[in-house]
């Protein structure tokens, strides 16, 4: 999963597979991060609370 | 006869003469001894028994007195082309070695998902449904060899063409100041043990080795050749019905060696 | 008198008494206990507790895994339709779909943890990945997608009436809701690949003529057929679960428009799937199979898995539900809709069963023997525990969370 496994060889297949994997993990992490940061900002008063319409 | 891949180094293979095989099972026992195969107190469950070499009994299906019986000793085929088990293992616990043609199994990495077992058409792979059983005092621990790791439950294992014997032979050769191995320096346990000399083992890429000459025989065939796995275990049989059992054929597809004269 | 836990109910809803609720959950808890015993035995004593053998390397659990993952596809597909395509009416059913998905995937992963021979080494699939293996692709995507499902389920939990009173949690839930489209898109991408890779698992096995298919680049046709069947049956399963919930609670929970949108889309997808499946079956039967030196009936000449399975899967539980769903009057008829959805889901489960169990039962070597298999009670326990878990979690979610946003409106 990381490039420092001893028999690891980067080839196009690895680039594609791990590229997509890291992309997905980054997107999910970013999303969670945004939600968390917005919540913190709203709780601490830096941001207005937006009412959610279902 | 399909082509083996182009690598110039040794490609270890086996030729089994089915006309010589008596079905005694010594190959199975020798293999189990050599490779620290565990046994169960009750070995009657054939489908969960640990055995790397498996002997199949086949018959020509005719009624007495035309009944004929033959035996197929079946080790791991060490498939040469896009090895089915290697390509499907998700944790790289099995690998095809380009330098020897041997398909290895890393027991400590295997997670036991058994996908390789589903992919292998030869049922060459067996699973450790139980932990190893080497009870003291019954003599079973006396055959344990320090050159082969013992496997715990939950991992897949299979014939490795006695790879540890290759390591042993290479070490010996290196200590004697040479890199090349003689033909009979590295042979598998089953080859050595067979009382009928039905099994020949060697380098298929070396034109001087017996195996590379034997595979040129018109009576040589491989199991399930049409699937394209490129097995490195060849069989020899002059009996047509035995050769027919090597693969699936639709009516008319099987080509006899000596077709009847028109 | 109000039930004891009434403060936890969604605003303005009625629920049964706590005693009745506990009594309702007892069978599910018993199933979970049965599964727990089976799981402990398998982990402690090894997989010899099952009836799996060297021939049946994949068995009941893998069938269940594949089946529930296919049926749980309603989660990602409804999410895709709601947030990406913009079908607003599906917002009334998306919560239930997400929950069903969460149950299916978390249950499947739990079952897989017992299924592998070395559960403690499960992480090797990530650390020592073989990127060419379909199973590696499956594991990565399923794990990542379970994370996405958890993130999609979390806001629903945070909408519990009492939890909403905590400002931080309410805000966090809202903020997650606002970016839900991003998670839905990621979920769609992940699901497409793992639903497909589950099909790819079998399609790539070129040494097993029964399962092998040709395909497009590295993806065998089973890859696309599995995705298609999953998005055809997933919405049907969502509809079935919703109908079951309505039947048990004796309330209307979802407006007809949402159900009909899902049913109509499922209808077209099922129709397309069945057509492509028939084409694939014919190519397999008459082109691929003879290449291996076999005829179609060679697969079915021994044992209980006869040609009737093919007929059942493709015709009875394939063509017929497709036709029923495609007829608008039948689709709108409550009884026929349920029948069609049930048949569709059955067909997909049969398809998964055929690719796992039947593939392994059929010998490849000419002198191989057909073998049969029946699960042990430990296997049944673990598989049925998933059902118990599903009922339990769904019941808890229904009771305490606004699982069906239109519940109040439909039950004044």
- Mean pLDDT, all residues of chain B: 92
pLDDT digits (tens, 9 = 90+) for A1-19: 555 555 667 788 888 998 9
In this predicted complex, what is the ipTM? 0.93
Distance from the Cα of C192 to chain B's closest Cα (Å) equals 19
- Given a cut of 70, the residues of chain C with pLDDT beneath it are 1
Query: The dihedral of CA C135, C136, C139, C140: what is its sign?
Result: negative
Cα angle value B243/C364/C197 (rounded, 5°):
145
Subunits that touch chain C (at least 3 Cβ pairs < 8 angstroms)?
A: A, B
Confidence bin at A53 (pLDDT 50/70/90): low
How far is Cα C176 from Cα C170, in angstroms, rounded to an integer?
Answer: 10
Residue B6, pLDDT score? 60
Residue B2, pLDDT score? 38
- Token pair 């000459």 in the structure block, residue: B213
Long-range pairs for C3-8: beta carbons < 8 A, 24 or more residues apart: C5/C399, C5/C400, C7/C161, C7/C162, C8/C160, C8/C161, C8/C162, C8/C399, C8/C400
Q: Which residues of C touch A43 (CB under 8 A)?
A: 167-168, 171
Residue B262, pLDDT score? 55
pLDDT at B142 over 90: no
Q: Which residues of B touch C52 (CB under 8 A)?
A: 129
Q: Yes or no: is domain C6-404 CATH 1.20.1630.10?
A: yes
Q: Which residues of C touch B90 (CB under 8 A)?
A: 125, 129-130, 133, 135-136, 139
Query: The dihedral of CA B225, B228, B229, B230: what is its sign?
Result: positive
Size of the A and C interface in Cβ pairs below 8 Å: 64
pLDDT at B232 over 50: yes
Which domains, from first to last, does chain B contain?
12-244 (3.30.70.20)
Residue of A nearest to C140 (CA): A21
Q: What is the pTM of this model?
A: 0.93
pLDDT at B92 over 80: yes
pLDDT digits (tens, 9 = 90+) for B112-140: 999 999 999 999 999 999 998 888 888 87
Average pLDDT of the residues in B190-200 = 97
Q: Which residues of C touch A3 (CB under 8 A)?
A: none
A44 at interface of C, judged by CB pairs closer than 8 A: no
pLDDT at B1 over 50: no
Q: What is the DSSP letter of C88?
A: G
Q: Is B95 helix (H, G, I), strand (E, B) or coil?
A: strand
Q: With contact defined as beta carbons under 8 Å apart, do C362 and C37 qualify?
A: no
Subunits that touch chain A (at least 3 Cβ pairs < 8 angstroms)?
A: C
CB contact under 8 A, C140 and A21: yes
Candidates C133, C171, C187, partner chain A, best to mutate (most A CBs within 10 A): C171
Domain edges within chain C = 6-404
Residue of A nearest to C218 (CA): A13
Size of the B and C interface in Cβ pairs below 8 Å: 158
Q: Residue B225 — φ and ψ, nearest 5°?
A: -60, -35
Residue C349, pLDDT score? 97
Residue C138, pLDDT score? 95
Average pLDDT of the residues in B177-181 = 91
pLDDT at A54 over 70: no
How far is Cα C387 from Cα C228, in angstroms, rounded to an integer?
Answer: 24
- B199: exposed, middle or buried (C-beta count within 10 Å: 0-12, 13-18, 19+)? buried
pLDDT at B258 over 90: no
How far is Cα C8 from Cα C5, in angstroms, rounded to an integer?
Answer: 6
Which of A17, A21, A35 faces C175 most closely, judged by CB atoms?
A: A35
Residue B91, pLDDT score? 94
Which of A14, A16, A35 faces C179 most closely, judged by CB atoms?
A: A35
Residue ranges of chain C whose CB lies within 8 Å of a chain A CB:
91, 126-129, 131-132, 137, 140, 144, 147-148, 151, 167-168, 171-172, 174-179, 182-183, 186, 189-190, 405
Confidence bin at B261 (pLDDT 50/70/90): low
Residue C141, pLDDT score? 95
Which of C115, C116, C207 faces B229 most closely, judged by CB atoms?
A: C207
- C301: exposed, middle or buried (C-beta count within 10 Å: 0-12, 13-18, 19+)? exposed
A26 at interface of C, judged by CB pairs closer than 8 A: no
CB neighbours (10 Å) of residue C76?
Answer: 31
CB contact burial C130-168 (16+ within 10 A = b; e otherwise): bbbbbbbbbbbbbbbbbbbbebbbbbbebbbbeebeeee
Residue C31, pLDDT score? 97
Residues 6+ apart with CB under 8 A from C167: A43
CB contact under 8 A, C171 and A21: no
pLDDT digits (tens, 9 = 90+) for B6-57: 667 899 999 999 999 999 999 999 999 999 999 888 888 889 999 999 999 9
Which of C124, C130, C292 faces B227 most closely, judged by CB atoms?
A: C292
How far is Cα C56 from Cα B123, in angstroms, rounded to an integer?
Answer: 11
Q: Which residues of A touch C168 (CB under 8 A)?
A: 39, 43
Q: What is the DSSP letter of C7?
A: G
Peptide bond into B65 cis (omega under 30): yes
Residue of A nearest to C149 (CA): A28
Average pLDDT of the residues in A28-53 = 86
């Amino acid at each position: 999963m990381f490039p420092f496994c001893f028999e690891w060889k980067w080839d196009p297949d690895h680039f594609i597979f791990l590229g997509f994997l890291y992309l997905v993990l980054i997107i999910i992490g970013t999303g969670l991060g945004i939600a968390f940061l917005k919540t913190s900002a709203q709780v601490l008063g830096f941001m207005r609370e937006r009412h959610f319409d279902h | 006869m399909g082509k083996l891949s182009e690598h110039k180094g040794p490609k270890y293979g086996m030729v089994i003469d089915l006309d010589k095989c008596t079905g005694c099972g010594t190959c199975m026992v020798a293999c189990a001894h050599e490779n620290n195969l565990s046994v169960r107190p009750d070995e009657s469950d054939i489908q969960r028994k640990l055995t790397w070499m498996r002997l199949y009994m086949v018959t020509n299906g005719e009624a007495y007195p035309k009944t004929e019986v033959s035996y197929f000793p079946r080790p791991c085929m060490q498939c040469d082309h896009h090895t089915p088990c290697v390509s499907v293992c998700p944790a790289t616990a099995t690998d095809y070695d380009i330098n020897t043609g041997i398909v290895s199994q890393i027991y400590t990495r295997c997670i036991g998902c058994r996908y390789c077992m589903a992919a292998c058409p030869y049922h060459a792979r067996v699973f450790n449904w139980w932990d190893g059983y080497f009870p003291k005092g019954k003599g079973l621990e006396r055959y344990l060899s320090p050159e082969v790791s013992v496997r715990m439950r939950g991992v897949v294992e299979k014939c490795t063409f006695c790879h540890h014997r290759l390591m042993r032979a290479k070490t010996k050769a290196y200590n004697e100041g040479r890199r090349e191995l003689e033909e009979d320096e590295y042979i598998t346990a089953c080859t050595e043990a067979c009382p009928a000399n039905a099994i020949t083992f060697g380098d298929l890429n070396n034109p001087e080795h017996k195996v590379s000459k034997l595979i040129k025989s018109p009576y040589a065939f491989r199991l399930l050749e049409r699937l394209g796995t490129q097995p490195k275990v060849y069989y020899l049989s002059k009996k047509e019905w035995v050769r027919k059992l090597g693969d699936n054929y639709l009516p008319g597809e099987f080509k006899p060696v000596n077709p009847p004269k028109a | 008198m109000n039930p004891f836990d009434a403060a936890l109910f969604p605003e303005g809803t009625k629920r049964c008494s706590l005693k009745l609720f506990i009594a309702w959950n007892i069978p599910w808890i018993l199933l979970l206990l049965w599964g727990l015993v089976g799981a402990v035995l398998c982990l402690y004593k090894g997989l010899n507790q099952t009836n799996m053998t060297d021939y049946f390397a994949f068995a009941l659990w893998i069938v269940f895994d594949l089946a529930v993952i296919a049926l749980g596809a309603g989660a990602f597909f409804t999410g895709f339709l709601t947030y990406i395509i913009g079908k607003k009416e599906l917002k009334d059913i998306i919560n239930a779909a997400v929950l069903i998905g969460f149950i299916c995937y978390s249950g499947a992963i739990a079952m897989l943890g017992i299924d592998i021979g070395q559960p403690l080494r499960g992480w090797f699939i990530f650390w020592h990945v073989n990127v060419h293996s379909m199973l590696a692709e499956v594991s990565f995507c399923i794990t990542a997608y379970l994370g996405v499902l958890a993130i999609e389920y979390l806001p629903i939990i945070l909408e519990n009436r009492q939890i909403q009173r905590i400002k931080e949690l309410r805000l966090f839930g809202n903020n997650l809701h606002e970016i839900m489209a991003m998670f839905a898109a990621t979920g769609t991408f992940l699901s497409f690949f793992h639903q497909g890779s589950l099909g790819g698992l079998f399609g790539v096995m070129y040494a097993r003529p029964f399962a092998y298919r040709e395909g497009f680049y590295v993806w065998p046709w089973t890859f696309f057929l599995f995705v298609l069947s999953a998005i055809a049956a997933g919405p049907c399963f969502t509809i079935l679960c919703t109908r079951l919930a309505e039947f048990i609670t004796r309330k209307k929970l979802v407006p007809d428009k949402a159900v009909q949108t899902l049913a109509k889309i499922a209808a077209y997808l099922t129709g397309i799937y069945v057509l492509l499946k028939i084409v694939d079956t014919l190519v397999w039967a008459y082109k691929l199979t003879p290449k291996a030196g076999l005829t179609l009936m060679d697969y079915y000449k021994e044992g209980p898995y006869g040609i009737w399975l093919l007929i059942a899967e493709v015709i009875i539980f394939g063509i017929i539900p497709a036709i029923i769903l495609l007829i608008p009057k039948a689709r709108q008829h409550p009884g026929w809709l349920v029948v069609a959805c049930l048949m569709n889901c059955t067909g997909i489960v049969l398809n998964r069963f055929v690719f796992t169990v039947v593939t392994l039962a059929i010998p490849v070597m000419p002198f191989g023997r057909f073998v049969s298999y029946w699960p042990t009670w430990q296997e049944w326990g673990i598989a049925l525990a998933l059902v118990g878990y599903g009922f339990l979690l769904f019941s808890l979610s229904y009771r305490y969370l606004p699982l069906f946003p239109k519940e109040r409106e439909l039950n004044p």
